[in-house]
Amino acid sequence: MAVTYDLEIMDGYGLVAAQGIIEGLDELGEYVRLMLDDVYQRGLERVLVDHRHLAGGFDISQKPEFALRIMELAASVRGSRWAVVTSPERRDFLYFFETVARNRGFMVLAFDTPEEAETWLLGDLPAS
């Protein structure tokens, strides 16, 4: 798999630092499945995902299929809080993910910096 990640337990949350090249929707799905299993097994309810070192993606024609996968994912992580940091060139992709996921009850927000993400993740700030 071209995408790898490290999961570090921080004070109050889990930090997922991903790196590599996403070479399609199936590979993205496999990375997310493995990462979620890892997070779930550790009982983490607050997670900061750093995607600034990911490249690649999937064909835009797969966006509807991606949305369906997000809806399935959202059901499995209800009750947890996720902050995702990405690079500027991937921001539109992440905002699409955020919109679909939040519409299905997945508390996730996109951020430009890890500091902003951590502040929201650990605080009692509103989910918007």
Cα torsion at 108, 76, 7, 35 (round to 10°)? -110
Give the pLDDT score at 127.
56
Distances (CA, A) of 24 to 55, 95, 121: 11, 18, 29
Reported as a single tens digit per residue, the pLDDT across 55-93 is 887 666 777 777 777 667 766 666 788 899 988 877 777
pTM value is 0.84
List, as one string, the DSSP characters of 2-22.
Answer: -EEEEEEE-SSSEEEEEEEEE
Reported as a single tens digit per residue, the pLDDT across 26-63 is 888 888 888 888 998 999 999 999 999 988 876 667 77
Q: Which domains can be identified in the chain, with CATH numbers?
A: 3-122 (3.30.750.24)
